Amino acid sequence: MQAMQRWLLFFWMAAVIVLAFVRPAPQQQLGDSSRIFYFHVPCAWVTVLAFLMTAIFSVRYLMKKQVEFDTKAALSAQLGLVFCILATLSGSIWARFAWGAYWNWDPRQTSIFLQLLIYLAYFALRGSLPDGERKATFSAAYAILAFLTVPFLIFVVPRVFPSLHPSDTVIGQEAQFNLGREVRWIFFASLAGFTLLYYRLYRLGARVKVAALESKGMQ
Amino acid sequence: MSWAAETRSILKKELRSELRRRWSLGLLALFGLITVFVVSFSLKTSPLTSGILSTFFWVIVFFAAMAGLSRSFLKEEETKTVLALRLLARPSAVFWGKLFFNLFLLFFLELILVPLFFIWLNVSGTNLTGFFLVLFLGTLGLVAGTTLTAAIVAKSESKGVLFAILSFPILAPLLIFAMAGSKAAFAGGGWEEIAASVKTLISYTAVMGAGSSILFDFIWEV
Amino acid sequence: MSLSLSASNLSKSFGSLKVFSSLEFSTSSGEILIVAGPNGSGKSTLLKILTGLLTSSSGQVDYCNENAKIPKEKRREFLWMVAPDLSFYEELSAKENLEFFLSLLGRPANKSFETLARVGLGGRENDEVAGFSLGMRQRLKYALAFLLEPKFLFLDEPTANLDESGVKLVSELLTEQKKRGLAVVATNNPDEYSWGDKKLELGG
């Protein structure tokens, strides 16, 4: 069953990647560089999803004080960090083509970079504390507090400041980005693929770490 | 035995200790003085746009906050007074008492910073009401966003740097909007220009203040 | 008045260092529990766990008043501990320290003057604690104990840094304590074992 899931995901992502390059580019003016859209946006989406999971596990840890939740929160943050780096880099590359420079201080660029800083700060905090209840509690509190700023970064900043990013409502009907039906399909397939990828990596990591916890407990 | 009375009591204790020894007051006064001096000295003849002015201003306030706001919790840990406090104090009274104390410290800094800033940098044409409104809310937001982090850092290793590392990402929305609002005020803008910033600052402060005070109980008892 | 303090299945480890495990005991009003054991046996750790300053690795601590459990948030109204690493604010005077801590519980401070005199700090009320010797600081902690009148009193190395008059003070405090509640005393000093009604041995 595990093996089948793994292959399914592999073929799914392979299909997405192939389609992304074979089918017409999402946006005509930008041409081929707009294909980054299929990868960049899902990465950014997973970044926030991962952090949401970290925040949720953090809340659960504070409520129940079970080490497992702290482990899962940190695991999700590790994955989130990777996707965040990917999102920042892919966004930066795309910016070079679309807007002329690798960095423009566009609100969304700033937000993803700040999310990166949040992840790094989270791990800096964890690194400065010896293992134990304090480390888990402090990490959890920080993650939750940091998560409270995310709505401001995602929703408020881009609304108030002029943004170079195309209208953010990819889901919306009249997106400036002018998504054709086919583009939309490939995009959502990619989104699903990335989300499943995150989920799969998370499950793998969780299994390993929980097993490690249990073996430590038995000693 | 009310929360308000206990908070007031802790605030009084913080103020009294600070006035006796003046650790942070001296540091902040000097910080404000020196930074404005350096900025104005090197830029005295250049025309400064509202954007540059607001940036300098909030950068100075931010770093002053990083220098001065963690001491309150740090000192309790170093001198071990935290133990007696943990035995007898209500956690939320500790949180709010120290938050208001940090607010006092920042207001003190701004008392020195603002006049020097306006005079030495020859600032004119500012919508003063707007400026002070943004300043007040921004300062409130600053302490709302840093008090919990200060409590966390006090019990970790590598205290100084960690405080800034942890605080900056969390304060980013605050700084963005405080700078935007101040910029509009420096440019002489009216309510329409600073409204968005004001509203965001208020909601940021409310969210971070409420969130921090709930999370503080968990930090305090570990 | 029926108060009780009980611990069930209490254990504490710092990483791989096990301090104690599966501790069970209880004590009730009018009793003094002596916690004895060699250095490093975990006496201070146990007291810190009982007062909530440390969390146990497993197990539970219950405070009961008339058969109703006192929740953690409310315990601060009923307890106080005198321990070596507990400190007062150096830059405040003796009186200011007492008034501050009393105010945290909404207690009036009108008896602080006479209590300071009682513990041998008369005339030093307005002096900063920074100038106090170890013995004086210890006495100040006892002053707060007399003023707080806690139902649950914890003493860790109660006579450290105290001379004969100081030891007498502690003995008086414990006598008063038996009438208003209970006490747990951690000590290495065999002379003090006689103060207790029950004994718990740690370590070994």
Q: What residue of A is the nearest CA neighbor of C14?
A: A132
Nearest-by-Cβ selection for B81 from C76, C87, C103: C87
Q: What does the pLDDT read at residue A127?
A: 94
**Do A131 and C15 make contact, defined as CB atoms within 8 angstroms?**
yes
DSSP for B200-220, please give it.
HHHHHHHHHHHHHHHHHHHHH
Does residue A138 have a pLDDT over 70? Answer: yes
Long-range contacts of B80-84 (CB under 8 A, 24+ apart): B80/C85, B80/C86, B80/C87, B81/C87, B81/C88, B81/C89, B83/C53, B83/C83, B83/C85, B83/C86, B83/C87, B84/C86, B84/C87, B84/C88, B84/C101
Which tens digits make up the pLDDT trace of B100-156? Answer: 999 999 999 999 999 999 998 888 888 999 999 999 999 999 999 999 999 999 998
Note the pLDDT of residue A120.
97
pLDDT at B197 over 50: yes
Q: Is C55 near chain A, with CB under 8 Å?
A: yes
pLDDT (0 to 100) of residue B131: 96
Mean pLDDT (whole number) for B173-188: 94
In this predicted structure, what is the pLDDT of residue B141?
A: 97
Give the closest-approach CA distance of B195 to chain A in angstroms: 11
Q: In terms of pLDDT, which residue wins out, C175 or A180?
A: C175
pLDDT at B41: 87
Q: Strands C3-14 and C17-28, how do they pair?
A: antiparallel
The per-residue pLDDT for C204 is: 55
Confidence of residue C14 (pLDDT cuts 50, 70, 90): confident
What does the pLDDT average to over A196-207?
91
User: How near does any CA of chain A get to the CA of C188, in Å?
Assistant: 30
pLDDT of residue A176: 47
pLDDT band at B23 (very low <50, low <70, confident <90, very high): confident
With CB atoms and an 8 Å threshold, state whether C91 touches B81. no
Q: How far is residue B19's CA from residue B26's CA, in Å, rounded to a whole number?
A: 10
Task: Report CB contact under 8 Å: B9, C104.
Answer: yes
Q: Is the ipTM of this complex over 0.90?
A: yes
Average pLDDT, rounded, for chain B: 93
Instruction: With a cut of 90, say whether residue A5 has pLDDT above it.
Output: no
Residue A171 has pLDDT above 50, yes or no: no
Its sign, for the CA torsion C145, C148, C149, C151, is negative
Question: What are the residues whose beta carbons fall under 8 Å from the beta carbon of B39, sequence distance 6 or more?
Answer: B56, B60, B121
To the nearest whole Å, the CA of B158 is away from the closest chain A CA by 7
The 10s digit of each residue's pLDDT in C82-126 is 999 899 999 999 999 999 999 999 999 999 999 999 999 999 999
The per-residue pLDDT for A12 is 86
Over 60: is that where the pLDDT of A112 sits? yes
Burial of A171 (0-12, 13-18, 19+ CB in 10 A): exposed
- In the predicted model, is pLDDT for residue A9 greater than 60? yes
Could you tell me what percent of chain A has a pLDDT over 70? 90
CA C43 to chain centre: 12
Q: Could you tell me whether strands C152-156 and C79-82 are parallel, antiparallel, or unpaired per DSSP bridges? A: parallel
C-beta atoms surrounding C176 within 10 Å: 15
Residue A174: what pLDDT? 39
What is the DSSP track for B71-110? HHHHHHHHTTHHHHHHHHS-HHHHHHHHHHHHHHHHHHHH
Structure token pair of residue C131: 């100038």
> What's the rounded mean pLDDT across residues C36-64?
92
Asked whether residue B47 carries a pLDDT value surpassing 90, the answer given is no
Those residues whose C-beta lies under 8 Å from the C-beta of residue B22, and which sit 6 or more positions away, are: none
- State whether C76 and B93 contact (CB < 8 Å): no
Q: Using 50, 70 and 90 to split pLDDT, how confident is the model at A173?
A: very low
Say how many CA atoms lie within 13 Å of C198 toward its Cβ. Answer: 15
Mean pLDDT of B186-209: 93
C5: β partners: C27, C63
Q: How far apart are CA A4 and CA A2, in angstroms?
A: 5
Q: Is C131 near chain B, with CB under 8 Å?
A: no
* DSSP output for B10-76: HHHHHHHHHHHH-HHHHHHHHHHHHHHHHHHHHHTTS---HHHHHHHHHHHHHHHHHHHTTHHHHHH
Provide mean pLDDT across the span A80-93.
94
Confidence of residue B1 (pLDDT cuts 50, 70, 90): low
Q: Which of C127, C133, C119, C117 is nearest to C93 (CA)?
A: C127
Residue A4 has pLDDT above 80, yes or no: yes
- Of A123-127, B56-60, C50-54, C65-69, least confident by mean pLDDT is C65-69
Q: How near does any CA of chain C get to the CA of A132, in Å?
A: 8
pLDDT at A169: 44
Cα angle at B174 between B169 and B176, to 5 degrees?
90
State the Cα–Cα distance between residues B89 and B57, nearest whole angstrom: 37
User: Cα-flanking dihedrals φ and ψ of residue A25, to 5°?
Assistant: -60, 145
Cβ distance B88 to C105 less than 8 Å, yes or no, reads yes
